[in-house]
Amino acid sequence: MTAHAAWLPPAAFAPLGAQRTLLLADDDGVARTVRDEVTRAVSAFGGTLRTDDDAPSLVLAELAAAERSAPEALPDVVAGLLEDAVGGGSAVPGEAASSSGPDAVVDAGLEPEDFVLARSGGVTAVLAGGPHGLLYGLHEVVRRGAGAFVGEIAAERHSPAQSLRMLDHWDNLHVHPVMGQVERGYAGGSIFWVDGEPNPDRERIAAYARLLGSIGVNAVAVNNVNVGSAAVLLTERLGDVVDLADIFRAHGIATYLSVSFASPVHLGGLDTADPLDERVAAWWADAASAVYERIPDFGGFLVKADSEGQPGPFTYGRDHADGANVLARALAPHGGTVLWRAFVYNHTQDWRDRSTDRARAAFDHFTPLDGKFDDNVVVQVKHGPLDFQVREAVSPVLAAMPRTRLAVELQVTQEYTGQQKHVCYLGEQWSELLGFRPWGEAGTDLAGIAAGHGPGGRRGGIAAVSNVGTDEFWTGHPLAQANLYAFGRLVWDASLDPLAILDEWATLTFGADDDVRAGLREVMAGSWLTYEKYTAPLGVCFMVTPGTHYGPSVDGYEYSPWGTYHFADREGIGVDRTVATGTGFAGQYPEPWRSTYESLETCPDELLLFFHHVPYTHVLRSGVTVVQHIYDTHFEGVEEVEARAAAWERLEGRVPADVDARVRALLAEQLRSAREWRDQVNTSFLRRSGIPDERGRTIFP
Ligand code: GCV
């Protein structure tokens, strides 16, 4: 295995590895993983590890005695499970039980994924509610570096905000003739399969699982939602899934499978996949039982149905609740979950028909079904109503199904954000999205809805499409590793500052070097907004090359069956999605956003063309006209890429040479591509509008 260490290089473990650690945990499962991590760290950096899984209460009593007679004999770090640790009195040696200490913090009980971190009297303590919490606590200590071993840390309780923190792989068993092996993958082949067979490099998969476990990801769907020939993973190739589940389990990650809704026909030989047919229900129940026999902690199924050609319940005149529930009932006896995607729209639409608006589709299909999904169904909703655009409105479905468990779907793979050739740090985009409050300031935000704090109190989670592949840097662009890292951290706690996450990633990956950290901020912070500047303006979306989705094509989707248009003519541009005169999409939001988006006066500039068709001379809230904004942002976007590339050059010699070489080559491509975007978009709107750039810069009339 020749993969880059990403954010877990040995050096990241140096501060922990120099300590004397006492670990009170079993030697199996996820706890074993923790033990292995600490063992590796102490053997590399001169510390010691004492483990005790027999009688933790005795160990703690012994420690308490040592604290009185020989404090120097105390370990520097004590980590263990709450159940083991509390028996011996104070949960943290060096600290007498008090109303504000860890004992008080844990009194409320810890869930299996929770942990408490504290430091007192020279001892750093991690107490977890279960092995998963212990793993997350270990990595919190690693992230803090030397800071975890100085001074005092008042007991902090850490719990994941989301119970489902998932990555979806769009990996195919074989190389697809158009999509490649990983659909919308920009980092080489699948790490799970090579030429249709399981990847023999199990170490590589284990290294990936380790990276995910360290950032708190706890679920992975291993194959593409466009299931194709991988449908057999549910039956004759189940062994592949068993092997992957064994690897992921050790890192606290449950394995899910994307399944084809037509499996009862294609795999089961039935003449129908009608979800209300008893034979179909029985087939799914048998298939699920067979999976659980071999993978008792299997997560469940992920389903793309009636979407972009995938089979689904519409074929049988059934709705999506019928479809999801037949799978849910097969999984329910085993504790499994169905993740049912809401990405359902007509992809064979007629561009001449202006009444159909793709943005409306998920809401129109799904909200009438609110309350009809079984308890073990989570409806997974893309963050926007279209398709992971660099800027689009937030999906109104997320505010409209209080009786349904909802998961927000993000895209770590950079399909529409530079395809891992462009630097585009997405932590800032996700932070903004997850913080969006559909009911205004007083209501909860998207992260809160997913976490079960919405009006119906139903818990879903957050999922995202993974960006890794067989590339030596995992993600093609080495800096795209930060997106994977930020996903895990924000899904654990969406209130974290995305730039602090960026710094954290930089420190773990490149070491505690202030100049490198500052340099990486210059290259990466705000790069999502830079990308927005030189691509499609003001929320208009989809000016990309059809098919590949890379590079500019102003009218690429203008006359297409996929239903993504901008309606630009010589007078103006934008999609009228108002209730008053347009498609009515703005009416799918609750107040205050319904009115905010409906009105030209209040619609935020960055989404103006998503909601309104306006003349090029329309003056934005920023004070400039639409067409001048297009010119300005496209020139600025390229200048910003130039500045970011220059900032990277200043890091020469401070980052490893292989990373430097790859990033430089990609920055050159980003610059080329950004210039192409600038010139095509500016020229296109100069030619259409006939309005020159106020500042007379070079455009190509
Ligand atoms: C897996 C977009 C992508 C498709 C992808 C689809 C989806 O349309 O271009 O490649 O298919 O989203 O999310 O299902």
Indicate if ligand 1 lies below 6 Å from the C-beta of 225: yes
CA atoms of 248 and 244, how far apart (whole Å): 6
Question: CA geometry: angle at 298 spanning 296 and 303, to 5°?
Answer: 150
What's the rounded mean pLDDT across residues 440-469?
98
| Band of residue 628 on the pLDDT scale cut at 50, 70, 90 | very high
Q: Catalytic residue, from 171, 319, 415, 471: name it.
A: 415
Is 489:136 a contact under the CB 8 Å cutoff? no
Indicate if ligand 1 lies below 6 Å from the C-beta of 284: no
What's the rounded mean pLDDT across residues 550-569?
96
| pLDDT at position 69 | 72
Is 259:299 a contact under the CB 8 Å cutoff? no
Place of tokens 């740090």: 425
From the list 452, 551, 447, 540, the residue with the least C-alpha distance to 498 is 447
| pLDDT at position 82 | 77
Using left for φ > 0, alpha for ψ between -120 and 50, and beta otherwise, residue 46 falls in left
Show the tokens assigned to 57. 């209460």
| pLDDT at position 109 | 84
CA atoms of 210 and 575, how far apart (whole Å): 45
Give the C-alpha distances (Å, rounded to integers) separating 126 from 22, 24, 136: 10, 10, 10
Nearest residue by C-alpha to atom 13 in ligand 1: 343
Place of tokens 């097969």: 330
| Band of residue 430 on the pLDDT scale cut at 50, 70, 90 | very high
Between the CA of 360 and the centroid of ligand 1 the distance, in Å, is: 17
Indicate if ligand 1 lies below 6 Å from the C-beta of 504: no
| pLDDT at position 376 | 98
Model confidence at 122: pLDDT above 60: yes
Q: What is the pTM of this model?
A: 0.96
Show the tokens assigned to 349. 């639409």
Among 167, 387, 417, 465, say which to mutate for ligand 1: greatest number of ligand atoms within 8 Å of CB: 387
Between the CA of 258 and the centroid of ligand 1 the distance, in Å, is: 14
User: Which stretch of 60-64, 207-211, 500-504 has the lowest confidence by average pLDDT?
Assistant: 60-64
The pairs formed by 90-94 with CB atoms below 8 angstroms and a separation of 24 or more are 90/60, 90/64, 91/116, 91/125, 91/127, 92/118, 92/120, 92/123, 92/125, 92/127, 92/155, 93/60, 93/63, 93/64, 93/66, 93/67, 93/121, 93/123, 93/125, 94/67, 94/120, 94/121, 94/122, 94/123
| pLDDT at position 73 | 74
Identity of residue 49: L
Identify whether 415 is a catalytic site residue: yes
Hey, which residues does 117 pair with through a beta bridge?
Answer: 126, 156
Is 135:252 a contact under the CB 8 Å cutoff? yes
| pLDDT at position 519 | 98
Between the CA of 465 and the centroid of ligand 1 the distance, in Å, is: 10
From the list 74, 85, 88, the residue with the least C-alpha distance to 121 is 74
Q: Catalytic residue, from 183, 274, 387, 471: name it.
A: 387
Indicate if ligand 1 lies below 6 Å from the C-beta of 343: yes
What backbone phi and psi angles, to 5 degrees, belong to 580? -65, -50
CB atoms within 10 A of CB 500: 11
Indicate if ligand 1 lies below 6 Å from the C-beta of 388: no
Is 100:155 a contact under the CB 8 Å cutoff? yes
Nearest residue by C-alpha to atom 2 in ligand 1: 387
Model confidence at 66: pLDDT above 70: no
Is the pLDDT higher at 111 or at 60?
111
What's the rounded mean pLDDT across residues 506-514?
97
| pLDDT at position 101 | 52
CA atoms of 694 and 679, how far apart (whole Å): 16
What's the rounded mean pLDDT across residues 323-329?
98
CA atoms of 592 and 580, how far apart (whole Å): 16
Is 244:231 a contact under the CB 8 Å cutoff? no
Identify whether 113 is a catalytic site residue: no
Model confidence at 314: pLDDT above 80: yes
What's the rounded mean pLDDT across residues 531-536?
98
CA atoms of 246 and 255, how far apart (whole Å): 9
Is 226:170 a contact under the CB 8 Å cutoff? yes
What's the rounded mean pLDDT across residues 608-625?
98
| pLDDT at position 52 | 78
Model confidence at 92: pLDDT above 50: no
Q: What is the distance, to the nearest Å, from the Cα of residue 190 to the centroid of all Cα atoms in its chain?
A: 18
Indicate if ligand 1 lies below 6 Å from the C-beta of 387: yes
What are the tens digits of pLDDT across the range 565-604? 999 999 999 999 999 999 999 999 999 999 999 999 999 9
Show the tokens assigned to 527. 């790069």
Model confidence at 96: pLDDT above 50: no
Q: What is the distance, to the nearest Å, from the Cα of residue 223 to the centroid of all Cα atoms in its chain?
A: 16
From the list 590, 586, 540, the residue with the least C-alpha distance to 439 is 590
Indicate if ligand 1 lies below 6 Å from the C-beta of 383: no
From the list 9, 161, 25, 2, the residue with the least C-alpha distance to 84 is 25
What are the tens digits of pLDDT across the range 195-236? 999 999 999 999 999 999 999 999 999 999 999 999 999 999
Is 45:77 a contact under the CB 8 Å cutoff? no
| pLDDT at position 93 | 45
> How high does pLDDT run on average in the chain?
94
Is 173:234 a contact under the CB 8 Å cutoff? no
| Band of residue 84 on the pLDDT scale cut at 50, 70, 90 | low
| pLDDT at position 25 | 87
Rg (CA), the chain: 26
Among 168, 170, 413, say which to mutate for ligand 1: greatest number of ligand atoms within 8 Å of CB: 170
Q: What is the position in ligand 1's atom list of the atom closest to the CA of 304?
A: 14
Among 182, 184, 557, say which to mutate for ligand 1: greatest number of ligand atoms within 8 Å of CB: 184
What's the rounded mean pLDDT across residues 514-535?
98
CA atoms of 49 and 76, how far apart (whole Å): 10
Is 381:368 a contact under the CB 8 Å cutoff? no
CA atoms of 428 and 461, how far apart (whole Å): 19
Model confidence at 95: pLDDT above 50: no
Indicate if ligand 1 lies below 6 Å from the C-beta of 168: no
User: Which stretch of 107-116, 402-411, 424-433, 687-696 has the lowest confidence by average pLDDT?
Assistant: 107-116
Show the tokens assigned to 158. 């850490």
| pLDDT at position 538 | 98
| pLDDT at position 108 | 61
From the list 153, 140, 156, the residue with the least C-alpha distance to 16 is 140
Q: What is the position in ligand 1's atom list of the atom closest to the CA of 179?
A: 10
Identify whether 669 is a catalytic site residue: no
